[in-house]
A = this chain, B = another copy of it.
Amino acid sequence: MSEQSESEEGGPFRLVREKVLHEVRRAIALGTLEPGARLTERALCETYGISRTAAREVIRQLDAEKLGEVVPHQGLRIARLTPKAVREIYEIRAEMEVLITRAFIALATEEEVAVLKGLVDALNDATARGDIEALVAHSSRYVSHMYETADMQIAGELMQHLNARITLVRVLAMREPGQISAGIGQLERIRARIAARDPDGAEAEIRKYMRTALASALHQLGGDPA
């Protein structure tokens, strides 16, 4: 459980708190830590064999990321996604995506456009394999590539912020792979509009995509309350 083999390179997590943070995020994304569950400092200390100093920082970080909420004497309560929150997230996300995509189309080189294709393919692949971790990772990379090329760091920041919560929905959606692969198909259409340097077409596809994704997410939430 608390094995430290420093020779093993599982990632660029040189700091204890980053490693644990990653672990906990994963636990939340995979549903091991269910929404509504409480995570106390002590529990973190004992589970991961870390000190309270580190545990506190992990908890505060999760709170800042809105993956949970610190409630005074109950520890961190893992965020529970409500349909309303999901609706709001997708509504905001739609506007941000449009903003970023328009800037991307205006600024991207052909090479940067080409990179997009590789990322969409990777997402397709991850979806086909049902590899949720790869899905999340590539999704994050896709967003990064978009906002970096579009030169909109702050928008990207906010998107990553929203993305963390969206992940909570995506883990539900994984139970019905058809939903996600359909979504990825729409992503491909967005990419095509981007490649064609057609901002209005891209915007239309994005909004369509968001409506579909929202419907899918709501379906997951409502249809599978377990």
Contacts and interface: CB of A to CB of B under 8 A. Distances in A.
Interface of A: 53, 56-57, 60-61, 64, 66, 84-85, 88-89, 91-92, 95-96, 99, 151-155, 157-158, 161-162
Contact of A60 (B61, B88, B99, B153): B61
B61 A64 contact: yes
A92 B158 contact: yes
A61 to B, nearest CB: 7
Given A60-B61, A66-B157, A91-B99, 17 more contacts: A53-B53, A56-B57, A57-B57, A57-B60, A60-B60, A61-B64, A64-B64, A85-B153, A85-B154, A88-B152, A88-B153, A88-B154, A92-B96, A92-B154, A95-B96, A158-B158, A158-B161
B154 A89 contact: yes
B95 A99 contact: yes
Looking at A57, A85, A157, which has the most chain B CB atoms within 10 Å of its CB? A157
Nearest to A91: B99
Nearest to A150: B88
Contacts of A155: 88, 92
Contacts of A152: 88
A211 to B, nearest CB: 16
A52 to B, nearest CB: 9
Contacts of A158: 92, 158, 161
A14 to B, nearest CB: 10
A162 B158 CA distance: 9
Contacts of A89: 154
A53 to B, nearest CB: 7
Q: Name the 3 nearest CB pairs between A and B, nearest first.
A: A64-B64, A95-B95, A88-B154
28 contacts: A53-B53, A56-B57, A57-B57, A57-B60, A60-B60, A60-B61, A61-B64, A64-B64, A66-B157, A84-B151, A85-B153, A85-B154, A88-B152, A88-B153, A88-B154, A89-B154, A91-B99, A92-B96, A92-B99, A92-B154, A92-B155, A92-B158, A95-B95, A95-B96, A95-B99, A154-B162, A158-B158, A158-B161
Contacts of A64: 61, 64
